[in-house]
Amino acid sequence: MKILFLGDVMGRSGRAAITTHLPRLRTEWRLDFVVVNGENATSGMGLSGEHAKLLFEAGADVVTLGDHAFDQKDMLAYIEKEPRIIRPINYSKAAPGVGARVFPAPGGRKVLVAQVLGQVFMKRPFDDPFSALDAVLRQYPMGGQVNASLIDIHCEATSEKMATGHFCDGRASIVVGTHTHVPTADAMILPGGTAYQSDAGMCGDYNSVIGMDKVEPLRRFITGMPKARFAPAAEEATLSGLYVETDDRTGKATRVEMVRQGGRLAQAGPA
């Protein structure tokens, strides 16, 4: 199966990059399944129902969220009626929606998508991600009822992400990091057959500080004094993520390529 994962969509320029490039990439790369992280798509903070619709219309099969899952209040109700949105499995026992679900793919195939929050350097303490993941991967083992599985590990520390990759190696088709908004250059297939990248990077304007207009973040770093609100940077975004081919029978990854399309970053992709 040909699977594309795209990292955190950041504000208006991130949304514009999705609507500009994703429909074309779906056809050109003959994609079977597309997962997009949408946690920053609305003004850089959360995802509104309206913008979720836009991501699906552009070609996303599933949208994952993150620590900003419910920054837009309408997502609390929207996620209950839109099964294609996945929030972190360990967000809170009180959170609406689910953290893992099996989705249909072309040809009667099935794909498991799950998201988990890490614990290192995160603002809020979240429940143990490893036991949560273990339960999901026991329920849907690779090469069992699902043809492929994708885990979005949403956290700050590359160490925690790599540990998650190895924890899931041979048990999930893809483990990909999100949240830092900067792509890492370590796309690989782990020894057990799991495609891995520590962070997919954001779909946003890279002439910025992790997607925000750089003036206010710079002021805060330099003076320690906030003066204005953060706003997403507005120049052309780079679509950033990971392209993976998997074996439908075993679920193992057979090819992995980093993806960077449009905008300011050096370009990359499977073509």
Considering only residues 169 to 208 of the shown chain, the ones binding Fe ion according to CB under 5 A are 179
| Distance in angstroms (rounded) separating the CA atoms of residues 40 and 255 | 29
Contacting range for Fe ion; rule: CB under 5 A; set: 35-43, 71-79, 95-103, 214-222? 35-43
Nearest Cα neighbor of 173 from 152, 157, 159 is 152
Considering only residues 47 to 76 of the shown chain, the ones binding Fe ion according to CB under 5 A are 66-67
Please spell the DSSP secondary structure of 47-101, one letter per residue. Answer: --HHHHHHHHHHT-SEEE--TTTTSSTTHHHHHHH-TTEE--TTS-TT-SS-SEE
Q: Which of 21, 51, 68, 181 is catalytic?
A: 68
Looking at this protein, which amino acid is placed at residue 265? L
To the nearest whole angstrom, how small is the minimum distance from the Cβ of residue 179 to Fe ion?
A: 4
15 binds Fe ion (CB under 5 A): no
β partners of residue 102: 112
To the nearest whole angstrom, how small is the minimum distance from the Cβ of residue 208 to Fe ion?
A: 13
Beta carbon nearer to Fe ion, 40 or 240: 40
Strands 2-6 and 239-246: antiparallel
Active site residue 68: yes
Contacting range for Fe ion; rule: CB under 5 A; set: 38-46, 57-65, 73-81, 110-118? 38-46
Beta carbon nearer to Fe ion, 14 or 66: 66
β partners of residue 100: 114
156 binds Fe ion (CB under 5 A): no
8 binds Fe ion (CB under 5 A): yes
Beta carbon nearer to Fe ion, 66 or 263: 66
To the nearest whole angstrom, how small is the minimum distance from the Cβ of residue 145 to Fe ion?
A: 30
Applying CB under 5 A, the site for Fe ion has a residue count of: 6
Nearest Cα neighbor of 259 from 210, 187, 192, 155 is 187
DSSP state at residue 214: S
What positions carry a catalytic annotation?
68
Contact residues: Fe ion, CB under 5 A: 8, 39-40, 66-67, 179
